[in-house]
């Protein structure tokens, strides 16, 4: 059987990072280049998170009693 592949890794971290970036962009005085870089990073993470949620499929594995 296909072994589990940990594609779920870091969803929570990503979500938190997006929030952090949005806050930074809103409240900190940043250079234009830095602002663009933060936005690009956040935008990429949003797309990754969305894809993660939209393409995920429930996986089931049964433990064999030892």
**Residues numbered 41-60 forming contacts with other proteins, rule: CB under 8 A:** 42-43, 46, 49-50, 52-54, 56-60
CB-CB contact of 11 with 46 (8 Å): no
Backbone phi, then psi, for 59, in 5-degree steps? -115, 140
What is the C-alpha to C-alpha distance for residues 62 and 2, in angstroms, rounded to an integer?
13
Residues 8-37 that bind other proteins (CB under 8 A): 8-9, 11-12, 15, 18-19, 21-22, 25-26, 30, 32, 35-36
| Smallest distance from other proteins to CB 35, Å | 4
Which residue is associated with the tokens 């997006």? 18
Q: Is 2 in the site for other proteins (CB under 8 A)?
A: no
């Amino acid at each position: 059987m296909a072994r589990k592949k940990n594609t779920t890794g870091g969803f929570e971290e990503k979500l938190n990072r997006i929030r952090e970036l949005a806050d930074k962009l809103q409240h900190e005085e940043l250079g234009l280049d830095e602002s663009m870089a933060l936005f690009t990073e956040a935008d990429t993470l949003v797309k990754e998170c969305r894809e993660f949620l939209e393409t995920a499929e429930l996986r089931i594995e049964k433990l064999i009693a030892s």
